Structure 1
Amino acid sequence: MMTLQPIDGVIFDMDGLLLDSESLAMDALIHAGAAVGYDMPASFCRRMVGVAADGCRALVLETYGESFPLQAFFAAQEVHLRDLVDAGRLVMKEGVAPLLDYLDAEGIPRAVATSSSRVRADHHLALTNLHWRFDVIVTRDDVTRGKPDPEPYLTAARQIGVPAAQCLALEDSHSGARAAHAARIPVIVVPDLLEPNDDIRRKALAIMEDLHMVLDFIRQARS
């Protein structure tokens, strides 16, 4: 576990941390599997939580073989997810608004570092009226290597002008927590669909139940 330096910037994951979207993505993956003739269990789909599209593609091919209709599968998943989102199923996670209000009041820069594409991130953040609340949004399309590589977090820290060690990362997924840790950014994990394993507990600064606890933590750390 890393020690905490002054918190001068905060970098947020998006799916499962800011937005209650991981369950929608799981639904869309299972639906897409059925659409192309494959029974894709939730236990397998859960392995793709927090993983960028290229990593998900590699995982699917490794599991189901090179003959798997990859393009049709991910196209069906994208359509179904968009339908769920546009039907009003996408909502913010509990505690997002007060945490962002506090960062506004304190003048603390903040960024999003997500494994989602630019199109998906912009759509989801605009739909939930969150897009304008971040100084920087780094997507999978903006980096060469996605999470668990540290590049998304290092890019976000650089773009908000805060040294990595003086940022705080907020994550729900194993892949994202590993990315932040590899970037030498202290990370608080707020679990969503994935419970933290021993490796994640070692890498995390703390495991917290929700973003209200994160807000209390940041207030105390800066007092």
Structure 2
Amino acid sequence: MVSLEKYDAVIFDMDGVLIDSEPLWKIAMEETFREVGCNLVKQDFQKTSGMRIDEVVAYWYNHVGWGGATQKEVENRIIQRMITLIEENGKPLTGVVETLNFLKHSEKRIGLGTSSYSILMAAVLQTLNLEDAFHFVHSAEHEHYGKPHPAVYLTVADKLGVHPVKCLVIEDSLNGIIAGKAAKMSVVCIPEKTHHPEPKLIVADYRYDSMMEFFLEISR
């Protein structure tokens, strides 16, 4: 059972935590990779879950390869498709708004640390009407390394003015959990529903089936 009294800040991942964007990512990537001749399917993308999109594209270029379009062109196509899908389909996962409101009234510092690019982060926050929900938001786009490197979370903690050990991270992917643990933070795992069961997620400090379950526990 998580005790919020131990923490001064809560830092959220975005994809699969605030918004059910993993299926949208898989649609955007599957369509775009097919256009350049790579017949990847949704299950393949579990291998790159939690990575920055440039790292995802580089991974598949190195493992499968394609001709014609550059990696940057493929990356940009995926991003533009994602923005459209977010604007058309984006909504907060159940329990997200309640959790954010509770944390705000509990006077916790609230941060967002995502592997997604800033342009996608902005699209999600605007579509979900969460632009004012966080004290600081940050994309790993601005770090030398993305998750599982802890840089994005360490930057958020620094900007929030909170020591890492007093931060609680909410994540859905193994790469994100590793990033949070490497930053010396405690980690809540709420597994993304389209992932296959991943035994390694047990490395998280706490696990819940949904954000609503997490909210109901912390608000008792």
Give the TM-score, by structure 1 length.
Answer: 0.89
Confirm or deny: 8 A CA contact 1:84 1:90 kept in the other structure: yes
Q: Deviations over 1:23-74 (max 9, x none)?
A: 1010111111121122111121222221112321331122113757323322
- The equivalent of 1:157 in structure 2 is 157
DSSP 3-state at the match of 2:169: strand
Matched, 1:117 2:121: no
Distance 1:196 1:181 in 2: 20
Which residue does 2:58 correspond to in 1?
58
The alignment of Structure 1 onto Structure 2 pairs a total of residues equal to: 217
**Cross-structure match for 1:185:** 185
Q: Deviations over 1:144-189 (max 9, x none)?
A: 2211001111111111111111111000111101100111111011
Q: Measure, in 2, the Cα distance between the counterparts of 1:29 and 1:118.
A: 18
Secondary structure of residue in 1 paired with 2:152: helix
Give ranges in structure 2 of 5+ residues lacking alignment. Answer: none
Residue identity matched to 2:207: I
* Aligned alpha-carbon RMSD (Å): 2.1
Structure 1 residue 195 displacement after superposition:
4.5
After TM superposition, the structure 1 = structure 2 runs for residues 94-113 of structure 1, keeping only pairs within 5 Å, are 94-113=94-113
Aligned 1:124-143 pairs, distance under 5 A = 124-143=124-143
* Code of the aligned partner of 1:113: G
CA distance in 1, matches of 2:19, 2:168: 18
Letter in 1 for 2:169: A
1:71 counterpart = 2:48 = no
Give the AA of the match of 1:132: D
Residue 118 of structure 1 and its aligned partner are, at CA, apart by: 1.0
Contact 1:111 1:156 survives alignment (8 Å): yes
Distance 1:52 1:208 in 2: 25
Contact 2:4 2:218 survives alignment (8 Å):
no
Query: Do 1:31 and 1:80's aligned partners in 2 also have CA atoms closer than 8 Å?
Result: no
Alpha carbons 2:20, 2:93 under 8 Å: kept: yes
Distance between the aligned counterparts of 1:54 and 1:42, measured in 2? 18
In structure 2, do the counterparts of structure 1 residues 67 and 77 end up closer, same or farther at CA, with 3 Å as the change threshold? same
Local SS of the residue matching 1:194: coil
CA contact (8 A) 1:11 1:170 kept: yes
Does the Cα contact within 8 Å between 1:17 and 1:93 map onto a contact in 2? yes
Contact 1:113 1:137 in 2 (8 A): yes
For the 8 Å contact 2:100–2:133, the answer to whether it is kept is yes
Does structure 1 retain, via aligned residues, the 8 Å contact 2:52–2:141? no
- Identity value in percent: 26
**Inter-CA distance 178–44: structure 2 relative to 1 (3 Å threshold):** same
Instruction: Structure 1: state its 5+ residue gaps.
Output: none
Q: Which amino acid aligns with 1:71?
A: K
Amino acid in structure 2 at the alignment position of 1:211: M
Contact map agreement 2:50 2:174 (CA 8 A) in 1:
yes
- SS in structure 2 opposite 1:132? coil
8 A Cα contact 1:9 1:167, kept in partner: yes
